[in-house]
Amino acid sequence: MRISIVGAGRVAHHLAQVLSTQHQIVQVLNRNLQKAKSLAALVNAEAIDSFEPLDSNIDLAIIAVSDQSISTVIGQVHYSLPDVLIVHTSGSTNLDVLTQQHSRAGVFYPLQTFSLDREVDWSNTPLFVEAVNKGDLNILTVLANSLSQHVYQYDSAQRLSLHLAAVFACNFSNYCYDMAKQVVDAKQVDFSLLYPLILETAQKATQHDPRLMQTGPAMRGDQNILNMHTSMLADAQQVELQQVYRLLSGQILKRHTAT
Amino acid sequence: MRISIVGAGRVAHHLAQVLSTQHQIVQVLNRNLQKAKSLAALVNAEAIDSFEPLDSNIDLAIIAVSDQSISTVIGQVHYSLPDVLIVHTSGSTNLDVLTQQHSRAGVFYPLQTFSLDREVDWSNTPLFVEAVNKGDLNILTVLANSLSQHVYQYDSAQRLSLHLAAVFACNFSNYCYDMAKQVVDAKQVDFSLLYPLILETAQKATQHDPRLMQTGPAMRGDQNILNMHTSMLADAQQVELQQVYRLLSGQILKRHTAT
């Protein structure tokens, strides 16, 4: 397939690179030409910084920009590529946002957390595809199958719910690690001591219902420890950690004493 | 070493079993004789359900009971074993709780999350030892080194801070997984789709500062998505998830826009 990419952020980088192993990346478009060039160089594509020079002789255009920009960008890509299949890669953006301006619209959503300096295990990354036309859905499914063993045809409502769950499972659990690091940093204790615990907790959640795997003072209803921890977080600098401690402990306590 | 165990819960089970491969477990004491017997049978020990028959011809007694019970149990174990080294296994209980009633007191704290049906990788589990007497500290250090490659002599203040951090890194991240499962369950979406994301997020946190690994709509300051997610959690049954969503997103937003 001949594919162009709009965007040069984390998702654009990872997607362009893996696609370039089996397909031709024709153009990389980014307002910042330097960023477009650095990605284009990696995938042997042309770098452009505006919509007019978009080459319409392609099979697919992938919009991998911030969610907020999708509705603006689709109008401009549509103007240059009115007959091309155009997808976005967002978990939290309804397909409607594209179809309001473009008929051959679809979604190509990888459910993973991307960092520029980490490799992605694409074959185990769930990919969710959606399209207005059945033919386009087939094209996206074939493309997704070339990357991953886990391809699903989901509608926007299912995808949005999955993305919301991902915020809890990924963004919020990462913030829990961040808060844990703040606690030990304040006492010059080494955060790496918590690594085995972090990994085992995550492993457990993929093998059992996490509700049944809950441990800790709140789950046991140990009010003495809960009070002690709350007072340990009474420093002005840790007032936010204390708020989280109170809310989550209260909810865990309620969830596990109600059963 | 000749060791007796007071308690028959998760920590008692895992500790008794790993210790029994290199040491003799003499007695297992639990109020519920059936529970004492089932653990004692696994480690070839005698099961007892009261403190009077405790055999004083041992090198170490390990109190592995709930944090709330330690202060009561130590008095009774001391009465039977006034000259024996006695330790608790709690991350969140000060050594003082033992020394108020017993002079040869110590702590033997494994920093890990224990479930009855999962094996523990002891050699990679950090163990924290503390004792009143230097000789006892040496005994505990040697014992800990026989189980783990990661043994630390920590005082109670350091250990308490580490345990508090563990609540954030382990108990709260598990509750995030639990909440994520509630979100997908409500829409009949399969929780296992989130497994690669959960594992990758945990892996990342052990290789980089989690603050720098933060992703998601709050970190990007994407108010549209934050509003949409909040309204998706407006169901009466999900009001608790909405509270967590608001608090954590607000804090993540603040933490990442302030820098």
Give the tens place of pLDDT for each residue, B217-231.
999 899 999 999 999
Residue to mutate among B65, B72, B179, B185, with most A CBs inside 10 A, is B179
Partnered with residue A60 across adjacent β-strands are A3, A85
Contact assignment for A194 to B111 by CB distance below 8 Å:
yes
Q: Is A132 on the interface with B (CB under 8 A)?
A: no
Per the CB < 8 Å rule, is B193 touching A228?
no
Q: Is B71 on the interface with A (CB under 8 A)?
A: no
What's the whole-number mean pLDDT along residues B213-220?
A: 92
State which residue of chain B sits closest to A120, comparing Cα positions: B200
What is chain B's mean pLDDT, rounded?
A: 95
pLDDT band at B114 (very low <50, low <70, confident <90, very high): confident
pLDDT, position B115: 75
With bands split at pLDDT 50, 70 and 90, how would you rate the model's confidence at B24? very high
C-alpha distances (whole Å) from A99 to each of A105, A163, A234 are 6, 20, 51
For B200, name the nearest residue in chain A, comparing CA atoms only: A113
pLDDT band at B258 (very low <50, low <70, confident <90, very high): low
Q: What is the ipTM of this complex?
A: 0.88
pLDDT in tens, B141-162: 999 999 999 999 999 999 999 9
Query: Looking at beta carbons, which residues of chain A come within 8 Å of B116?
Result: none
Taking the C-alpha atoms of residue A126 and residue A152, their distance in angstroms, rounded to an integer, is 7
Q: Is the pLDDT of residue B74 over 90?
A: yes
Q: Rounded to a whole number, what is the distance in Å from the CA of B4 to chain A's nearest CA?
A: 25
Query: If you measure CA to CA, which chain A residue comes closest to B199?
Result: A202
* Number of neighbours of residue B192 by Cβ within 10 angstroms: 13
Closest CA to B115 of A249, A215, A218: A215
Q: What phi, psi does A128 have (nearest 5°)? A: -115, 125
Question: What whole-number distance in Å separates Cα of residue B115 and Cα of residue A212?
Answer: 10
Q: What is the pLDDT of residue A194?
A: 96
Q: Is A51 exposed, middle or buried (0-12, 13-18, 19+ CB in 10 A)?
A: middle
Q: Name every residue whose Cβ is closer than 8 Å to that of residue B230 and which is 6 or more positions away in sequence.
A: B242, B245, B246
Q: Is the pLDDT higher at B188 or at A34?
A: A34
pLDDT, average across residues B115-124? 85
- Cβ–Cβ < 8 Å for A112, A118: no
Q: What is the pLDDT along chain A (259 residues), one digit of tens a residue?
A: 999 999 999 999 999 999 999 999 999 999 999 999 999 999 999 999 999 999 999 999 999 999 989 999 999 999 999 999 999 999 999 999 999 999 999 999 999 888 777 788 999 999 999 999 999 999 999 999 999 999 999 999 999 999 999 999 999 999 999 999 999 999 889 999 999 999 999 999 999 999 999 999 999 899 999 999 999 999 878 899 999 999 999 999 999 986 5
| Cβ within 8 Å of residue B55, ≥6 positions away | B4, B26, B27, B46
- Any alpha helices (H) in chain B, and if so which ranges? 10-20, 33-43, 70-80, 96-99, 134-145, 156-166, 173-185, 195-205, 210-213, 217-220, 223-232, 239-257
Whether residues A162 and B218 touch (CB distance < 8 A) is answered with no
Q: Which of B167, B176, B215 sits opposite A229 (nearest CB)?
A: B167
Sign of the Cα pseudo-torsion (B110, B113, B118, B124, in order): negative
- Decide if A257 touches B, using CB distance below 8 A: no
Cβ–Cβ contact B215 with A under 8 A = yes
Q: Going by C-beta distance under 8 Å and a sequence separation of 6 or more, which residues neighbour residue A84?
A: A56, A58, A59, A60, A61, A104
Burial class (CB in 10 A: 0-12, 13-18, 19+), A188: exposed
Strand (E) or helix (H) holding A180:
helix A173-186
Cβ–Cβ of A164/B233 closer than 8 Å?
yes
* Main-chain dihedrals φ then ψ at residue A237, nearest 5 degrees: -70, -15
pLDDT of residue B207: 94
Do residues B204 and B212 touch, judged by C-beta distance below 8 A? Answer: no
- Whether A194 and B166 lie within 8 Å, measured CB to CB: yes
Nearest to B173 among A177, A218, A240 (CB): A177
Which of A120, A162, A163, A177 best probes binding to B when mutated, by most B CB atoms within 10 angstroms? A177
Residues of B in contact with A169 (CB under 8 A): 176-177, 180, 194, 197-198, 201
Longest dimension (CA), chain B: 68
What's the rounded mean pLDDT across residues B63-77? 95
Phi/psi at A131 (5° precision): -155, 155
Distance CA A191, CA B164 (A): 12
CATH numbers and ranges of domains, chain B: 2-154 (3.40.50.720), 160-257 (1.10.1040.20)
pLDDT of the residue at A258? 67
The dihedral built from the CA positions of residue B6, B8, B14 and B20, taken in this order, carries a sign that is: positive
Among the partner residues B68, B202, B225, nearest to A202 by beta-carbon distance: B202
- Continuous segment of H or E residues that includes residue A159: helix A156-166
Q: Treating both helix axes as pointing N-terminal to C-terminal, what angle do B239-257 and B223-232 enclose, rounded to 10 degrees?
A: 170
Please, what is the angle between helix B33-43 and helix B10-20, to 10°?
30
Q: What's the burial of A99, exposed, middle or buried (CB within 10 Å: 0-12/13-18/19+)?
A: middle
Q: pLDDT exceeding 70 applies to what percent of chain B?
A: 99
CA B93 to chain A, closest CA, distance in angstroms equals 8
What is the distance between the alpha carbons of residues B52 and B55, in angstroms, rounded to a whole number? 9
Q: Is the dihedral of CA A230, A231, A232, A238 positive or negative?
A: positive
**Residue from the list B211, B229, B247 with its beta carbon closest to the beta carbon of A167:** B229
- Shortest Cα–Cα distance, A228 to chain B (Å): 9
Query: Least CA distance to B150: which residue of chain A?
Result: A193
At residue A193, what is the residue type? L
Residue pairs spanning A and B at CB distance below 8 A: 298
Residue in A170, A222, A233 nearest the CB of B197 = A170
Which helix or strand (DSSP H or E) is residue B47 part of? strand B46-48
Q: Which of A193, A213, A241 sits opposite B174 (nearest CB)?
A: A213
